[in-house]
Amino acid sequence: MKIYFRILSFAKPLSKFAIPYSISTVLYAIFNTIVFSLLIPVLNVLFNQDPTKNLENNQFPEFDFTFEYLSHLFNFYLNQFTVTYGHKGALIFVAAVLVTCVFISNISRYFSQRVIENLRIHTLKNLRKNVFEKVTNLHIHFFNNERKGDIISKITSDVQVVQYSVTNTLQVIVKEPLLIIGYLILLFSISAKLTFFTLLLLPVSGLVIAQIVKRLKAQATEAQSSFGIMVSLVDEAISGMRIIKAFNATGYTQEKFNKENNYYSNINKSIAKRQQLASPVSEFLGVLTLSGILIYGGSLVFENDSNITAAGFITYIGAFSQLLRPAKAISESFSNIYQGIAAGERVLELIDTPSIITDDEDATEIAEFKHAINFEEVDFFYGEKHVLNQLSLQISRGKTIALVGPSGAGKSTLLDLIPRFIDPQKGKISIDGKDIKNITQYSLRNLMGIVNQESILFNDTIANNIIFGRQGFTLEQVEEAAKIANAHEFISKTDKGYQTNVGDRGIKLSGGQKQRICIARAVLGNPPIMLLDEATSSLDTESEKLVQEALIHLMANRTTIIIAHRLSTIQNADEIIVLENGKIIEKGTHQELTQHKGLYKKLINMQEFTNH
Ligand SMILES: Nc1ncnc2c1ncn2[C@@H]1O[C@H](COP(=O)(O)OP(=O)(O)OP(=O)(O)O)[C@@H](O)[C@H]1O
């Protein structure tokens, strides 16, 4: 229930919806019940052939806020009509009242449905907005541990499931009980004795339904997470289609998907079995109750119990059968709500995931980089694994630092610490003496240009891929950045120049072109610090030369920390840091390090670096 109310809290301000919804629903319930209460006088008109009999005790009723008052008022006018215009006139009167009541009740229903529909759309818009904002604000490490497909399915499919069950239930929770109350009042006013008897039978039906829907929530959770796995499989298959084809793994991939698909379908079958059972069972139990009423109530009528007349009894049966419909709707929606709650729980779990990397309350902005970046006895762990061990390092402004070392030595981890993609468990990293934890992430990252090994582009124009949402850049500045990145020439030759769309992940561009656009993106805004992870994938010589040149332009007059794979980059660096098992074991220039018989020399001898 807590989850249910939290989901509803996304409908803020609730009063905007709650007030008009309550008013229109109450009106609907009242007029709907009145329509039924009209049955008694109609039957009386039909059965009662002597109108003067009615007139004898026909008095204008005293005002009272009850159904009885309404019924007396109606009877008063009905009798007047019967006497003045005969039975036909009376029937026309009843028909006119009926049409008016049905009109008002349907208008009210239409309004209440419109309000609830708006509430549903509003809630889901807020829920989707919140969950996407949350996901994009989360620390990078979170995405290493989660399946991408699961996150996608939470934002899309789970939110949709919440829509169809939780908000539908809201409609049922308010409207149907009101209808039930209305019908119960009518039933009590016809015969209290018979209604007490009816109420005794209802809890039995409730217990049976509860038993049926009990396991639904666990199954619904399983179904949603299985759907998440399926989305992941589709995502992996589409992104890895080349490899799948190259290794003839189409069958293997299809089989993996089919297995999950079968599992998902089976859970859904089982859920549907239970859900579908709720409605016929509740209807059957309702009719069972009705037969009880028929026998008991009928005998009261036969015994000439003054409590209930024949017309009253027929209306009673009619009203009771109407009572079954909202009761059925409630039991049906309860069998659906579990699916919605399970989905809601998954969405809220994502919203509640704490971001490990946050800005300190007293974090300040940093506008420029003047002196040095310092690592002081930094320790970093991935779980139990000690990735960086008591690492201390100074990077002075304007220098180019090359990080080298065997695979898994901790180079990428070291680079990720500088823009606070991750935080060290021990030690301190500072810029110009200021702990980076006390600097806002936004201003810290604003000082940096980052180029990854993988050229990540988005399905958008070249210009938008370079600007990437940053404000205040002119097309001239974008072109300037592209020129530094050796990209301007090829961009100008494309169909629409800077407005050319690069396709999904930049599929319409070559590897080298993608890299140069990423370099242009990093250069734009002229950040003083560059964090580079040199690509290992070899390009053709021409392309390689262009990328290499672009990187040289990029590093000029900046502080650069680069995970280097090319010998030329390493040789040009001011300082080479050799990492092994999370420790700096050597540092110096190329000349200095080749004179030692250390790891660097060994890596050179093993031809670890490419010779461009
Ligand atoms: N997200 C992660 N979760 C758990 N362990 C990780 C994660 N990322 C890296 N590691 C581990 O941390 C260690 C250092 O990884 P890192 O990527 O920093 O090495 P590297 O020197 O950059 O290697 P390479 O040159 O192969 O990219 C490795 O042993 C790796 O297995």
Mutate to test the pocket of ligand 1, among 145, 404, 412 (most ligand atoms within 8 A of CB): 412
- Full domain range(s) for residue 104: 2-352
Per-residue pLDDT, averaged over 202-230, amounts to 79
pLDDT tens across 406-433, in order?
Answer: 888 899 999 999 999 899 999 999 999 9
pLDDT value at residue 8: 76
Query: CB burial class (10 A; 0-12, 13-18, 19+) of residue 535?
Result: buried
Percent of the chain with pLDDT over 90: 15
Does residue 411 have its Cβ closer than 6 Å to ligand 1? yes
Has residue 26 been placed in a domain? Answer: yes
Can you state the angle between helices 67-137 and 15-37, rounded to 10 degrees? 150
Instruction: Name the residue of 384, 387, 425 to mutate for ligand 1: max ligand atoms within 8 A of Cβ.
Output: 387
Percent of residues, the chain, with pLDDT higher than 70? 92
In the chain, how many domains are there? 1
Can you tell me the mean pLDDT for 513-527?
88
Q: Higher pLDDT residue, 59 or 497?
A: 497
- On the question of pLDDT at 307 being above 60, the answer is yes
Query: Which of 152, 151, 162 has the alpha carbon at shortest distance from 11?
Result: 162
Q: Is 567 domain-assigned?
A: no
Residue with tokens 């169809």: 164
**Which pLDDT does position 60 carry in this prediction?**
75
Top-confidence residue, 443 or 606: 443
pLDDT value at residue 49? 47
- pLDDT of the residue at 333: 76
- Which residue's CA is minimally distant from atom 27 of ligand 1? 407
CB atoms inside a 10 Å sphere around CB 397: 14
φ/ψ region of 505 (left if φ > 0, alpha if ψ in -120 to 50, else beta) reads left
**Higher pLDDT pick, 603 / 270:** 270
Across the range 225-248, mean pLDDT stands at 83
Element at 381 (helix H, strand E): strand 372-382
187 is a domain residue: yes
pLDDT at 467 over 80: yes
Name every residue whose Cβ is closer than 8 Å to that of residue 593 and which is 6 or more positions away in sequence: 576, 578, 586, 587, 600, 601
Mean pLDDT of the chain: 83
Whether residue 494 has pLDDT greater than 60: yes
**579 CA: nearest ligand 1 atom:** 21
Ligand 1 lined by 340 (C-beta under 6 Å) = no
Q: Is 144 in the pocket of ligand 1 (CB under 6 A)?
A: yes
**Quick check: 468 pLDDT over 70?**
yes
- Rounded CA gap, 64 and 61, in Å? 9
Residues 153 and 221: their CA atoms lie apart, in Å, by 13
- pLDDT for residue 105 is more than 80: yes
512-523 average pLDDT score: 88
User: Does residue 58 register a pLDDT over 70?
Assistant: no
Q: Determine, yes or no, domain membership for 564.
A: no
Between CA 219 and CA 19 the distance in angstroms is 36
Which phi and psi angles does 297 have, rounded to 5°?
A: -65, -40
Confidence of residue 249 (pLDDT cuts 50, 70, 90): confident
How many Å apart are CA 9 and CA 537, to the nearest integer? 50
Contact 336, 170 (CB under 8 A): no
Q: Which candidate, 533, 493, 527, places its Cα nearest to that of 513?
A: 493
Strand residue runs (E) in 233-351: none
Phi, psi of 202 (to 5 degrees): -65, -45
Q: What are phi and psi of 242, to 5 degrees?
A: -60, -45
Tell how far the Cα of 346 is from the centroid of ligand 1, in angstroms: 29
Which residue in 474, 590, 562, 561 sits closest to 524, CA to CA? 474
Q: Can you give the C-alpha Rg of the chain in angstroms?
A: 37
Distance of CA 385 from the midpoint of ligand 1 (Å): 10
| pLDDT, greater one: 126 or 312 | 126
The SS3 of residue 304 is: coil
Q: How far apart are CA 430 and CA 368, in angstroms?
A: 13
Q: Of 269, 292, 285, 270, which is closest to residue 331 (Cα–Cα)?
A: 285
Q: For residue 48, what pLDDT band results from cuts at 50, 70 and 90?
A: low
pLDDT for residue 375 is more than 90 = yes
Residue type (1 letter), 163: Q
How high is the pLDDT of residue 577? 92
Q: What value does the mean pLDDT take over residues 95-111?
A: 89
Q: How far is the CA of 17 from the centre of ligand 1 (A)?
A: 51
Q: Is the pLDDT of residue 47 over 90?
A: no
Residue for token pair 């999950």: 260
Q: Give domain status of residue 500, yes or no.
A: no
Closest protein CA for atom 31 of ligand 1: 408
pLDDT band at 32 (very low <50, low <70, confident <90, very high): confident
User: Quick one: pLDDT band at residue 188, thresholds 50, 70, 90?
Assistant: confident
Site to probe by mutation for ligand 1, drawn from 143, 384, 385 as the one with most ligand atoms within 8 Å of Cβ, is: 385
Atom of ligand 1 nearest to the CA of 383: 4
Q: What φ, ψ does residue 503 adopt, rounded to 5°?
A: 80, 175
d(CA 572, CA 556): 11
Which residues are within 8 A (CB) of 331 and not within 5 positions of it... i.e. 6 or more apart? 209, 213, 278, 279, 282
How many angstroms does the Cα of residue 535 sit away from the middle of ligand 1? 16
Q: Give Cβ neighbours of residue 18 (< 8 Å, ≥ 6 apart).
A: none
Give the CB-side neighbour count of residue 138, counting CA atoms within 13 A.
20
Q: What is the mean pLDDT of residues 30-43?
A: 77
Residue 312 CA to ligand 1 center (angstroms) comes to 81
Q: How far apart are CA 416 and CA 274, in angstroms?
A: 50
Q: Please give the Cα distance from 342 to 166 (Å, whole number).
A: 10
Helices (H) and strands (E) in the chain, counts: 24, 10
Q: What backbone phi and psi angles, to 5 degrees, belong to 383?
A: 60, -120
Percent helix, strand and coil across the chain, each rounded to 5?
Answer: 65, 10, 20
> Would you state the pLDDT for residue 266?
92
Q: Decide if 474 is inside a domain.
A: no
**289-298 own/partner pairs: CB under 8 Å, 24+ apart:** 289/198, 289/201, 289/202, 289/205, 289/320, 290/317, 290/320, 290/321, 290/324, 292/197, 292/198, 292/201, 293/194, 293/197, 293/198, 293/317, 293/320, 296/194, 296/197, 297/191, 297/194
pLDDT tens-digit profile of 567-610? 877 888 899 999 999 999 988 888 888 888 888 777 777 766 66
- Output the six-digit token pair for 283: 């209807």
CATH number at residue 49: 1.20.1560.10
Cβ of 412 less than 6 Å from ligand 1: yes
Quote the CA–CA distance of 145 and 138 in Å, as a whole number. Answer: 12
Residue nearest (by alpha carbon) to ligand 1 atom 1 = 144
- Rounded to the nearest 10 degrees, what angle do helices 67-137 and 168-190 cross at? 170
The strand ranges marked E within 406-525 are 426-431, 434-435, 448-451
- For residue 158, being part of any structural domain is answered with yes
Q: How far is the CA of 412 from the centre of ligand 1 (A)?
A: 7
| For range 36-46, the mean pLDDT | 72
In a domain, 45, yes or no: yes
Pair of tokens at residue 531: 């964090």
Residue 148 has pLDDT above 70, yes or no: yes
